[in-house]
Amino acid sequence: MEIATTRHGDTKDIIIHVPAADQPTVLVGEKLVLHIDWPRRYKLMRMHTACHLLSVVCQYPITGAAVGEDESRVDFDMSETIDKDAVTATMMALVEGNHPVYLQWITDVELAANPDIVKSKNVRPPMGLGRVSLVCIGENASVDSQPCGGTHVSETQEVGAIHIAKIEKKGKENRRFRIRFATPETASAL
C-alpha cells in the first residue's frame, strides 16, 4: 500500500502514515512493514544538506524553508542584493570539498546556554525530549553546526551538482533562494 503523506499526532513523537487514495485497508492490530521510497528520500537528503550549505554561504537569519525533491527554497532576512552564480560557486566548493556530515547530541540545557547556534528565526529546534541533535559539517564542525532533526547525506560530495536557480525579492527584508539540482543543460551553462 502506498503512503501519501505523514503527519504528527497529538505529540510530535507520534507519526501517522496516511495511505494514498484507493489503497487496500488494513485491520487494527495488523502488523505492517514500512519501506522507504529510497530514490525520493535520497534526493530529499541531498537537497536538505544543500540547504545547510546555503546557510553557511549566506549567513543571514533564516525565516522559512521548504525541501522538495526537485527544488528547495530558503528565505533569509536580508536586504542586500547577492549574485546567485557566486553563491552557487561557493556552495559547489563546499560540495567538492567533501566535508563529513555527522550528528552530535547535546542536551536541551546546553542548547539553551548557547542560543547563537540556532540560525532559524522562527523554527524552533526539536527541544523537549531532553536532547537535541546537532548537525555538524566538516572535521570538528569546522564548516557548520546547527540543531536539526532532518535527514542528511554523510559527506557533502553526495549532494552532487546543485545551483541557485533564482533569488526572489519577497518584501524589503526577505530574499527567497531556490536551489535546484543541475541538469546537464543547466550544468553546462554554469
Query: What is the binding site for Zn ion (CB under 5 A)?
Result: 135, 148, 150
Question: Which three cell numbers mark 134?
Answer: 546537532
Measured from each CB, the residue nearest to Zn ion is 148
In the bound state with Zn ion, the residue whose beta carbon lies nearer, of 91 and 148, is: 148
Q: How far is the CB of 143 from Zn ion (least distance, A)?
A: 13
In the bound state with Zn ion, the residue whose beta carbon lies nearer, of 31 and 124, is: 124
Rounded distance, CA 96 to CA 155, Å?
10
Number of H helices, E strands in the chain: 4, 9
Q: How far is the CB of 83 from Zn ion (least distance, A)?
A: 25
Q: How far is the CB of 148 from Zn ion (least distance, A)?
A: 3
Question: Which three cell numbers mark 80?
Answer: 542586500
In the bound state with Zn ion, the residue whose beta carbon lies nearer, of 158 and 173, is: 158
Q: Which residues contact 77 (CB under 8 A, 6 or more apart)?
A: 60, 61, 62, 63, 121, 173, 174
In the bound state with Zn ion, the residue whose beta carbon lies nearer, of 19 and 178, is: 178
What's CA 124's distance to the chain center, in Å? 14
| DSSP code of residue 95 | H
